[in-house]
A and B are shown apart, each in its own frame.
Chain A
Amino acid sequence: MVLCGLSIFGIVLLIAVELIKRSDLAWAKFGFQFFFRADLDPVTHQPIYWDPVNGHFSALPFVYGTLVSSFLSLVLAVPLAVGVAIFLTEMCPLALRSILAFLTELLAAIPSIIYGLWAVFVLVPLLREHVNPSLIKYLGWTGLFADDNPTGLGFVSAAVILAIMILPIISSLTREVMIAVPHSQREAVLALGATRWEMIRMGVLRNARIGIVGAIILGLGRALGETMAVTMVIGNTPEIHHSLLANGASMAAVIANEYAEAVSDLHRSALTEIGLALFIVTIIVNACARLLVWAVTRGAPARVV
């Protein structure tokens, strides 16, 4: 039994060691600069980030793509998730509660490939026809929505499908931390004459704040590592544009697309280094999130998400 327990340590160590070993070629050649360097095209003087055939390797567009799509998805998902959690915990009639909770859990169980399939055939055309033109017309002045990508793929589509995917995680953990707040807090605020929203705000959310932040960070961790749905809708172009409607690429997506057909050892090593970066970042993010959630629920075994 102890061996089984220790094997978990062994597995994580093994993964880390293998990733470090396999990425040493790229690390030796580029060092830490790998994540923000750029070669310049001699003719057009535009930066070339990722050109495996000619030996240009830089992880900058992928880091940019991952960060932009993940944070945009958080912006979309967090208000909805917290709203759902508030509704289910405080306002929902008991009969409806289990059905809605079950449906939200079902959202979490859908595999990401199905999200990707639905996104490619339903979501992207929907955004392309109806949402993106409005975004360009009304918010184009911010400089974030340019008109040069008619495909509908890009960061916005990726952020929307990512938001749908991380919603159930954030909402179920938020519900858990809200339920963990003792009833005496709620009753005390109500006794002072608060409305229901004020009771939620002062009695529940204020106490569960840390846990909700932990839930959000956990959702971020999931969004950072999400591969299949993002690969299908983000456009897979290793370039950096200021427009949110432009095609991009993410770290997980480039690994999924190029690993099996890597043209050289350096290419594969560069991809493994991107994978190593993803590994380390998600470990740190998940560790922080679990610590925060644990701090509120105080060691009661957390539900497996």
Chain B
Amino acid sequence: MIRGFIDHLVTFLSVLATVLVILPLLAIFVYLVYKGASSLNLDFFTKIPKTPGETGGGMANAIVGSAVLLGLASVIGIPIGIGAGVFLAEFGRGTRLANAIRFTADVLNGVPSIVMGVAAYALIVSPHISFLPFTGHFSAFAGGVALGIMMIPTITRTTEEMLLMVPNAIREAALGLGVPNWRSVLAITVKTASPGIITGCMLAFSRVAGETAPLIFTVLGNAFWSTSLDRPIAALPLQIYVFALSPYDDWHRLAWAGSLVLIALIVLAVSLVRFVTSRGVLKGTS
């Protein structure tokens, strides 16, 4: 009898735990929509922030700046990540080097983003090396590099996972036809797993899109229009951070709207990822 009671109690507690976990999620979303939706208008997407005290303005420079940063981060992170993933799954499968690389990628994944920012500052922002183009001052380049490095472990792991899911029959068929190994890997295996690999890149992209800490002292933020890689640039999460901690109501309003845009993008990416992976990633394989 006691055992039955404890069983029911545990069931109740587990349901309670689940409710308590889902509650903040719903609270955050509802509050974001409630606070942010009223400030989302065309101005938000086309104007730069006004001086404090004036109403209006938007976060257009931050959105464009984030796009620039994420573009640079993708250019750095995606090739290296996919290359490392291909190595782990195809050329080095089972070797101790591959295990070490996989372990190091996991470790790199866990490094706090603020430490990445410090490293990017130390490597790119502070040294004055005259022949390197972007060093010596705060710049979008430094932030893009920091974000790109953060993308690498995620892309590596998901690429490896997706490539391991490609059935061996395909590889054997290609090799049986006399295709050299490197070509079989690139043209056939990677192509087969490409929806999954793209999914992994989207996942890394959405994770890095919301990162603020590495940007605080690498790109520094910019109150005006700028797309140059050589200058400080505005970024959406950074702008939200600065506005949220300011004492001006108008800036708070903009921060909520910016958060809504950010979360909408991320939810979109995550849902797309879920949809692609649940539907079956490997089309054309038996």
A interface residues, Cβ below 8 angstroms from B: 1-9, 11-12, 14-15, 18-19, 21-22, 79-84, 86-88, 91, 98, 100, 102-107, 109-118, 120-122, 164, 167, 171, 195-198, 200, 218, 221-222, 224-228, 232, 252, 255-256, 259-260, 271-272, 275, 278-279, 282-283, 285-287, 290, 301-302, 304-305
Contact = CB atoms under 8 A, between A and B. Distances in A.
B158 A118 contact: no
Contacts of A286: 106-107, 109-110
Contact of B21 (A19, A167, A195, A232): A167
Interface in B1-20: 3-4, 6-7, 10-11, 13-18, 20
A226 B211 CA distance: 11
Contacts of B7: 195-198
Contacts of A122: 27, 31
Interface residues of B, number: 96
Contact of B118 (A79, A114, A272): A272
Interface string B156-183: 1110110010000000000000000000
Interface in B230-281: 237, 240-241, 244-245, 252, 255-256, 259, 262-263, 266-267, 270, 274, 278
B259 A304 contact: no
Given A106-B267, A116-B241, A87 B17 contact: yes
B132 interface: no
Contact of A252 (B22, B84, B213): B213
Contacts of B87: 1-2, 4-5
Contacts of A272: 118, 122
B113 A12 contact: no
Interface in B74-118: 79-84, 86-88, 90-92, 97-98, 100-101, 103-118
A200 B104 CA distance: 34
B246 to A, nearest CB: 11
Nearest to B112: A225
B210 to A, nearest CB: 2
Contact of A21 (B10, B114, B122, B262): B122
Contact of B213 (A9, A167, A228): A228
A28 to B, nearest CB: 17
30 contacts: A1-B87, A4-B80, A5-B87, A8-B156, A22-B122, A81-B17, A86-B10, A87-B15, A87-B18, A102-B274, A104-B21, A106-B25, A111-B237, A113-B210, A117-B255, A195-B4, A227-B212, A232-B244, A255-B118, A259-B117, A260-B216, A260-B220, A275-B114, A279-B115, A282-B110, A283-B107, A286-B106, A287-B103, A301-B157, A305-B109
Contacts of A107: 21, 24-25
B162 to A, nearest CB: 10
Given A8-B152, A302-B157, 8 more contacts: A8-B108, A9-B101, A111-B212, A112-B213, A114-B28, A118-B28, A228-B213, A283-B111
Contacts of B161: 301, 304
